[in-house]
Amino acid sequence: MSGISLQPFKNMGAMAGLFNVSSAGYTQGDAQDDPAVRLQLCSGVISDSVTTPLWGGVGVLECISAAGGVSGSTITKPTASNCNAFSVFNQAYHGITTPSSPVPQYLAGGSLHYYRIGSGARIPLPISSAVAGLATGTEPVGSDGFVWDLENQCIDVYSSSTSGNPKVNIRLINVSTSGNLTVSKDTDGNVVWDDSMPVGLFLI
């Protein structure tokens, strides 16, 4: 065995960034840990009328299921006048992913996890540039007057030009303009992660 150099206790420097204690950015639909509201997480069944996939961090409409239903509320897409919950990725391990669409997706007939507006959950949601512009250092936390933009799938400020979207009673508490992961569709229709959009942390 001579000639073999064994150094079982050899030390080496740590890899760069291994012991970082802070990071920047949010992931859309990843509700923040909060023991006070974690039991408010709900699960419902996506209606057969929903013809396109859903994912975390989008506005949804929780509806009363037909009499005799035992699988929770029925989830549909929001309307121009009503959006009463936001979907999340939390504990939703059944999302479908593919090599071309790495974002977990949830289909009609399957379940979707969400928090109702009024639950007190803190959820990162994609925002418009107008909402990002509220991060001035002087705007009070809790500023309201927001809508869920049905076309662009993001939170926007309420105005005459956005009045055709459902108003949502939620409060903005933080804005992150970089280091985020949001969801978008590429030119082929695949659902992919995107790092170009600002994200707001909302108390819903």
Question: What are 167's strand-pairing partners?
Answer: 147
Nearest one of 29, 32, 76 to 56, comparing CA atoms: 29
Q: List alpha helices for 40-187, DSSP H.
A: 129-132
In a domain, 5, yes or no: no
Give the pLDDT band (50/70/90) at residue 72: confident
Query: Given CA atoms 5, 7, 13, 15 in this order, what sign does their dihedral have?
Result: positive
Answer yes or no: is pLDDT of 11 > 80: no
Model confidence, pTM: 0.86
What would the two tokens of residue 147 be?
Answer: 């809508």
Answer whether residue 42 is part of any domain: yes
- Lowest mean pLDDT of 8-17, 163-172, 191-200, name the range: 8-17
Residue 159 inside a domain? The answer is: yes
Per DSSP, what are the bridge partners of residue 105?
Answer: 96
With cut-offs at 50, 70 and 90, classify the pLDDT of residue 71: confident
Q: Flag whether 182 is in a domain.
A: yes
Q: Is the pLDDT of residue 186 over 80?
A: yes
At 4 the pLDDT is 61
The better pLDDT of the pair 24, 83 is held by: 83
Identify the domain containing residue 176 by its residue range. 38-203
With contact defined as beta carbons under 8 Å apart, do 65 and 71 qualify?
yes
The predicted model gives 16-39 an average pLDDT of 83
| Chain-centre distance for alpha carbon 165 | 19
How many whole angstroms separate alpha carbon 147 and alpha carbon 103? 24
- Please tell me the total count of domains within the chain: 1
Residue 24, in any domain of the structure: no
Residue that the structure tokens 């929780």 belong to: 62
**Inside any domain, residue 133:** yes
The model's pLDDT over 130-154, given as tens digits with 9 standing for 90+, comes to 999 999 888 877 666 899 999 999 9
Nearest by Cα to 204 from 142, 156, 159, 137: 142
Q: Vertex 134, ends 131 and 137: CA angle to 5°? A: 150
